[in-house]
Amino acid sequence: MSAAAAAPSRGAGIVGTIGRVREAGLVVILLALALGTFAVNPRFLSAQGVKDILLDVAVIALVAIGETVVLLMRQVDLSVSSIVGLTAYGAGALFAAHPNLPIPLVLVLGALAGGGLGAINALLVAHGRVPALVATLGTLYVFRGFDFAWVQGNQINATSLPPAFLRLATASLGALPLLALLVGLLVAGFGAYLRLYPGGREYFAVGSNEEAARLAGIDVARRLRRGFILCGAIAGLAGVLWLARFGTVDATAGTGLELRVIAAAVVGGVAITGGVGSVEGAALGALLLGTIANALVVLRVPSFWEQTIEGALLLAAITADLLISRATLRMMREGRRGG
Partner 1 sequence: MTSETPASEPVLVARGITKSFGGALALRGASLAIEAGESHALLGENGAGKSTLVRILAGVLAPDQGELRLAGHPVRFRGPAEAQAAGISVIYQEPSLFPDLSIAENVLIGHMPRARFGTIDRAAAASRVAGMLGDLGVPLPPRRPVRGLSIAAQQVVEIAKALSNRARVLIMDEPTAALTTEECERLFAVVRSLRARGVAVLFITHRLEEAFAECQRFTILRDGALAASGPREAFAPAEVVRRMVGRPLDQLYPQRSSRTGDELLAVTGLTRAGSYEDVHFRVRAGEIVALAGLVGAGRSEVLRGIFGIDPRDRGSVRVAGCVVAPADPRAAMRAGLALVPEDRRQQGLVLALSIIRNATLAVPRAVRHFGLVSRRREGAVTRLWAARLQLKAHRLSDPVGTLSGGNQQKVVLGKWLATAPRVLLIDEPTRGIDVGAKAELHRRLAELRDHGLAIVMVSSDLPEVLGMADRILVMREGRLVGELRGADATEETVMLHATGQQDGARTLAAVPA
Residues that bind partner 1 (CB under 8 A): 10-16, 192, 196-198, 201, 204-205, 207-209, 211-219, 274-276, 328-330, 332-334, 336-338
SS3 249: strand
- CB of residue 313 vs partner 1: minimum separation in angstroms? 24
Q: How far apart are CA 339 and CA 336, in angstroms?
A: 5
Residue placing its CB nearer to partner 1 in the complex, 187 or 331: 331
Q: How far apart are CA 201 and CA 159, in angstroms?
A: 45
- CB of residue 163 vs partner 1: minimum separation in angstroms? 39
* CA angle centred on 21, ends 19 and 27, rounded to 5°: 105
Torsion from C-alpha of 95, 99, 102, 104, nearest 10 degrees = 30
Phi and psi at residue 56, to the nearest 5°: -65, -35
- CB of residue 337 vs partner 1: minimum separation in angstroms? 5
Residue placing its CB nearer to partner 1 in the complex, 16 or 42: 16
Residue placing its CB nearer to partner 1 in the complex, 51 or 201: 201
- Among the listed residues 199, 263, 232, 207, the one whose alpha carbon sits nearest the alpha carbon of residue 60: 263
- CB of residue 128 vs partner 1: minimum separation in angstroms? 19
- CB of residue 12 vs partner 1: minimum separation in angstroms? 4
- Among the listed residues 249, 233, 235, the one whose alpha carbon sits nearest the alpha carbon of residue 161: 249
Residue placing its CB nearer to partner 1 in the complex, 219 or 250: 219
Residue placing its CB nearer to partner 1 in the complex, 171 or 212: 212
- Among the listed residues 157, 112, 118, 153, the one whose alpha carbon sits nearest the alpha carbon of residue 136: 118
